[in-house]
Structure 1
């Protein structure tokens, strides 16, 4: 597996849910910066709770409850903050103004009853590879994933193993 990310900086990062360490990674293919919020000390004998979040400006900034937005980033950070150890990986995608407008129009058309897919496909195997590279760099081997169960191929190539899936019952909980 070719390494396409490089850790570029890190610092303490206070959030409304407590203190994390923020790591920034630069993607050599797309020249995009991705982030990892790390809670606690990652140790091999204690599988951390992991959430890999693909950024979506509309959903993340508005904390939208739309089904197409999935688990809000805020809720993922809150849930991981409740653990002794955990990581929220935030994968950025290039979103120019036209992409954002198309997403809004897509939602409006679905709201009016047009038969469109819930989410235009944006995730690919490379996305899994980016998240896996970041987790591997942070010393993760076994992990619990904050997500519905899904097949994630090639994680073993990065020395990663999912031992459990944790469902967040508070998907659209906007309380503090």
Structure 2
């Protein structure tokens, strides 16, 4: 059976970054509730700014400083709002795909000296178990023709292009490093090939 996605509800959501249309999706791939925040008219448009953001309860909701997720979410919404059009896809794949429980256990391992990658591996997982087929289906559902991907992760671009999404360019989204997230950011750059710590132009 081919993967299937349904856009069940669309509703306006006013935010501090402007108003978006929230799309609620059901799907046959993972039975999770994924959403997209859409700004402006994106159907049949080229070069649409897109952020594919994986759920991070601790960063997105609680404002945890252990990661850069919450700051990236806010920055991406602001970037899309300023561009007057774009899509933020919010995928329910917590903890780079390992779930909230295992992510919190990984935090404790990090406090014992492991980095974010080795902690996941110690728990029997891959460094990154995220998957982007639902995101590709959402972009197809919205009829977006090509995108500018807001990311620091080249592997995310590769994954989307393998799924048939035309990525025209990468838009960096680098948050400020501080004592609580510096080791985390360094590990993402060193072990996960994220493009970080580039000189500001």
Asked if Structure 1 and Structure 2 have the same fold, meaning a TM-score greater than 0.5 normalized by the shorter chain, the answer is yes
Measured against the shorter chain, the TM-score band is 0.7 to 0.9
> Residue 83 of structure 2 aligns to a residue in which SS?
coil
Q: Residue 102 and residue 43 in structure 1: after superposition, are their counterparts in 2 closer, same or farther (change >3 A)?
A: closer
TM-score (norm 2): 0.70
Q: Tell me, in whole angstroms, the C-alpha distance in 1 between the residues paired with 2:85 and 2:119.
A: 31
- Give 1:3-152 correspondences, 5 Å limit: 3-67=3-67, 69=69, 72-93=72-93, 99-114=99-114, 117=117, 120=120, 121-124=127-130, 127-151=131-155, 152=158
Partner of 2:174: 169
RMSD between superposed Cα atoms in Å: 3.0
Determine helix, strand or coil for the equivalent of 1:65: coil
Structure 1 stretches lacking a partner, 5+ long: none
- 1 CA distance for matches of 2:161 and 2:33? 21
Matched position secondary structure for 2:143: coil
Structure 2's unaligned 5+ residue stretches are 121-126, 179-201
Q: Which portions of structure 1, spanning 4 or more consecutive aligned residues, are displaced by more than 4 angstroms?
A: 68-71
Q: Which has the higher strand share?
A: 1
Using CA pairs under 8 Å that are at least 6 residues apart, name the structure with larger relative contact order, 1 or 2: 1
Deviation of 1:31 (Å): 2.0
How many angstroms apart in 1 are the aligned matches of 2:171 and 2:94?
Answer: 29
> Counterparts of 1:19 and 1:118 in 2: how far apart (Å)?
40
User: Is the CA contact 1:70–1:171 (under 8 Å) kept in the aligned structure 2?
Assistant: no
Question: Can you list the C-alpha shifts for 1:82-125, whole angstroms capped at 9, x where unaligned?
Answer: 21211100011379xxx53432231132123135626734534x
> Which one has a larger percent helix, Structure 1 or Structure 2?
2
For this pair of structures, how many residues does the alignment match? 168
